[in-house]
């Protein structure tokens, strides 16, 4: 194999590795710079919650289960999954009045004996 071919192959490998490193760096930067979206909406009754839509509910904490809690108002109850922020069960307390505004929280509402998922 000629000496020039080895140099070209090494240069091509170095260029590919450099492109990969740049792509990985840019991906890491964009993933780290995501900001939470702030939604301005009035709280609605729990029974008005719709699937796959932003939600805002106001009520009292009925029960706490680790990183999940049940918020209840006059119209129904909803299970709110707080994710890592609520681990340990210290984010909210029973009987505490809360207003939850979220575009991506995992919530389940109950109306009568029917439960449905709201995200």
pTM, 2 dp: 0.53
What is the pLDDT, as a whole number, of residue 114?
42
- The domain segmentation of the chain, as residue ranges, is 1-34, 46-118
What is the pLDDT, as a whole number, of residue 4?
72
Rounded to whole angstroms, what are the CA distances from 118 to 47, 64, 70, 109? 11, 19, 14, 7
What is the pLDDT, as a whole number, of residue 62?
92
What is the pLDDT, as a whole number, of residue 80?
83
**pLDDT tens, residue order, the chain (119 aa):** 566 778 888 889 899 988 988 888 888 777 766 565 555 678 888 888 777 777 788 889 999 888 888 889 998 888 888 888 778 878 888 888 887 655 444 555 554 444 444 43
Rounded to whole angstroms, what are the CA distances from 106 to 13, 15, 53, 77, 82? 45, 44, 11, 14, 8
Secondary structure letter of residue 95 according to DSSP: T
What is the pLDDT, as a whole number, of residue 103?
46
């Amino acid at each position: 194999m000629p000496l020039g071919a080895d140099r070209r192959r090494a240069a091509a490998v170095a260029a590919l590795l450099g492109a990969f490193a740049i792509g990985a760096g840019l991906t890491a930067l964009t993933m780290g710079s995501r900001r939470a979206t702030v939604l301005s909406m009035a709280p609605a009754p729990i029974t008005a919650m719709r699937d796959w839509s932003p939600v805002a509910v106001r009520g009292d904490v009925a029960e706490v289960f680790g990183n999940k809690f049940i918020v209840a108002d006059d119209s129904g109850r909803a299970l709110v999954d707080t994710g890592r922020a609520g681990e340990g069960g210290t984010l909210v307390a029973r009987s505490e009045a809360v207003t939850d505004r979220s575009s991506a929280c995992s919530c389940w509402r109950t109306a009568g004996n029917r439960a449905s998922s709201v995200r």
